[in-house]
A and B are shown apart, each in its own frame.
Chain A
Amino acid sequence: MDAGLVIQTSGLTRRFGSLTAVDRVDYQVPAGSISGLIGPNGAGKTTLISLLAGFLRPSAGTGLLLDRPLGHPEVRGRFAVLPQDATFPPRRRVADLLALYGELAGLSPAEAHAAGLDVLAAVGLQDKARERAGHLSHGMTKRLGLAQAFLGNPDLILLDEPTSGLDPRNAFEIRRLIANLKGRSTVIVSSHNLAELQSLCDHATILSRGKIVVQGPLEEITRADAEIRIGLFGEAPALAPLQSLPGVEQVELVEEGQVLLVRFSSSKTPVELGTATVLRHLLEHGALVTSLNRGRSLEQRFLELT
């Protein structure tokens, strides 16, 4: 396994009859990242997460998770998953369930109980500890799912659609909780909400029809490290002087002349410096700048690639 990777698969494949849900996937996730797993419905995101978690057996291919083969008993308790559609036994009390998970992960009964209450407090469910799981609302059940994923501070957390079906406030809360994990655990988040992923992630993988279309740092995928888009109002500036600015590789007007697209030669000039140079030039020459964006939105890239 390459140093610095928590997940590395090779030719990972899963077939359901004639359908190949995950097709020869070489998936890599760097340690410490918050990595987005993106794809249209049926792209294979949930199947890939299930294969990594050991819920499903691969039809072909291999993989390493936390330096051990997929499904290896030694990684149990070192990673956690929020499955997309799993529920809790309705009769069980919330605190008892978390204490059970904690004990299974190797904590003593007292430690497991205390750890359970801690993660419940972290997700804002401390007053629901004695509630039966079946009495929780959809949003609360999702937060309980997150609480079990946070239990025991795992090295790796896989979250399958953590905000799906939640109201905006609950979704915001969950995004805040995930963002707080940065630096403590590696997190993989699968979601349809691309704006959400762009705000959370520093690494992403786009899947389509069971295959990886692109994976890498989010900056590279959205080209945020190499291009800027400047919104303009009124007359378009002359392109030739801009083209000759240091570090600028290419300049073009797009979207009916309303947006100036500037590509930098990233090896020569940091994009921040190039942006400052281009902006100064435009303002000195009387251009009316209405907006500035680094790279393209994840949504744009997703639409381009899938």
Chain B
Amino acid sequence: MSKRAVHELLVVFKDDLRQGLTSPLTLFLAVSYLLFSLLITLPYVALSRLLMEKLATEPGGASAAAALQVAGTTMWSQAFTQLTGSPEEGLALASVPLPALYTFFFASFIVPLLAVLLSSDLVADDLRTGHMRYLTLRCGRETLLGGRLLSRCLLLAATTLLGTGISFALFAVRLTDLSPSAYVHFLRYGLFLAGSAVVYAALAALCSTLVRSAFFALVLGIFLLLIFGVVDMASDVLGWATPNAYKLLLFSPNRWPQGLAAYLGFATLYAGAAWLRLRTRDL
């Protein structure tokens, strides 16, 4: 990469980040995601607290709580074995503190949508208005795409990590029985969420290079998310062509590197296709 390209990349990155941080839409989406993190955490915390208080006040509550924990672990282990088809995997997943799994499970559904909402206007609106012409007179198409994608990924990563941090803080403060390993699992899942946001931001970038309107790029992005969901549920074979199929690997304490590699592959594929499309299309 030439010195000039690096300069262009940094200028575009800084400019897009500044725009993102002052954009009402971006701020609204980020705050909404943080509220979502809070809202999914609160019922879990409230129910757990209620159960803990009830067991604490009842005679023999301590032993009942211990028995419940063992029963819960067994139940989750069986459920995860059923889901993954491997007793070893089931046991490993059951060892992950439930609050961490719970948070990651819900957030993993909303993060793709957040990424698509935040990244659909990457280049599409500039293509529509012709502003892309002013920009590409002074900046390479690939550096423009790269700089903006990096900026959106940073915003998404910061938002998802903050959301995970909020959930974790609430669990840590309100649940006295949160295991020490929960710290590690929350951090890992927080990073995975940020990573999956990158994959879907790259997908949104691809959509943004295919059409000449941020709205149509958004519609296309959401449509693809739905297609991915349907294909993943309907077909074991075709499902592997979507990022959704690898989500379960990210949950696993043993197999997460495979999941991460798959996500990295999808991010490269989508970003590469977006780059190729923008490079060859008419402005």
B133 adjacent to chain A (CB < 8 Å): yes
Closest beta carbon of chain A to B280's beta carbon, Å? 7
Q: Is the CB of B7 within 8 A of A81?
A: no
Q: Name which residue of chain B comes closest to A55, CB basis.
A: B283
**Bound CA span A55–B125, Å:** 16
CB-defined contacts of B125 to chain A, threshold 8 Å: 89
CB-defined contacts of B140 to chain A, threshold 8 Å: 73, 76
Q: Is the CB of B280 within 8 A of A83?
A: no
Q: Name which residue of chain A comes closest to B129, CB basis.
A: A87
How would you classify the secondary structure of chain B's contact residues: helix, strand, loop or mixed? Answer: helix
In B3-17, the 8 Å CB interface with A consists of: 4-5, 7-8, 11-12, 15
CB-defined contacts of A88 to chain B, threshold 8 Å: 129, 131, 134
CB-defined contacts of A178 to chain B, threshold 8 Å: none
Q: Is the CB of A100 within 8 A of B15?
A: yes
Contact of B137 among A56, A81, A87 (CB under 8 A): A81
Which of A102-110, A116-124, A184-192, A209-217 participates in binding chain B?
Answer: A102-110
CB-defined contacts of A57 to chain B, threshold 8 Å: 280, 282
**Bound CA span A86–B131, Å:** 6
Q: Is the CB of A55 within 8 A of B138?
A: no
**Bound CA span A106–B140, Å:** 13
Q: Is the CB of B283 within 8 A of A80?
A: no
Question: Knowing A76-B137, A77-B138, A104-B11 touch, does A56 contact B131 (C-beta < 8 A)?
Answer: no
Contact of B138 among A56, A85, A86, A101 (CB under 8 A): A101
Q: Which of B12, B129, B138, B140 has the most CB of A within 10 A?
A: B138
A53 adjacent to chain B (CB < 8 Å): yes
CB-defined contacts of A105 to chain B, threshold 8 Å: 138
Q: Is the CB of B137 within 8 A of A53?
A: yes
Q: Name which residue of chain A comes closest to B24, CB basis.
A: A91
A54 adjacent to chain B (CB < 8 Å): yes
B136 adjacent to chain A (CB < 8 Å): yes
**Bound CA span A306–B139, Å:** 38
Question: Knowing A55-B136, A76-B138 touch, does A85 contact B7 (C-beta < 8 A)?
Answer: no
Binary CB contact string for chain B from 4 to 36 against chain A (1 if under 8 A, 0 otherwise) = 110110011001000000000000000000000
Q: Is the CB of A55 within 8 A of B133?
A: yes
**Bound CA span A85–B129, Å:** 8
Q: Name which residue of chain B comes closest to A85, CB basis.
A: B130
Closest beta carbon of chain A to B93's beta carbon, Å? 46
Q: Name which residue of chain B comes closest to A74, CB basis.
A: B4
CB-defined contacts of A86 to chain B, threshold 8 Å: 129-131, 133-134
Q: Name which residue of chain B comes closest to A88, CB basis.
A: B131
CB-defined contacts of B70 to chain A, threshold 8 Å: none
Q: Is the CB of B135 within 8 A of A104?
A: yes
Binary CB contact string for chain B from 239 to 283 against chain A (1 if under 8 A, 0 otherwise) = 000000000000000000000000000000000000000001011
Q: Which of A79, A87, A100 has the most CB of B within 10 A?
A: A100
Contact of B136 among A54, A85, A89, A148 (CB under 8 A): A54
**Bound CA span A81–B2, Å:** 24
Closest beta carbon of chain A to B144's beta carbon, Å? 9
What are 10 A-B residue pairs whose CB atoms fall within 8 Å in the complex? A55-B282, A73-B140, A83-B133, A85-B130, A86-B130, A87-B129, A88-B134, A103-B11, A104-B8, A106-B4
- Please report B residues at the A interface, Cβ cutoff 8 Å: 2, 4-5, 7-8, 11-12, 15, 125-126, 129-131, 133-140, 280, 282-283
Instruction: Supply 16 further A-B pairs (C-beta < 8 A) apart from A76-B138, A80-B137.
Output: A53-B137, A55-B136, A55-B283, A57-B280, A77-B138, A79-B137, A81-B137, A83-B130, A85-B130, A86-B133, A87-B131, A88-B131, A101-B135, A101-B138, A104-B8, A104-B135
Question: Top 5 nearest A-B pairs by Cβ distance?
Answer: A86-B130, A104-B138, A55-B283, A104-B139, A105-B138
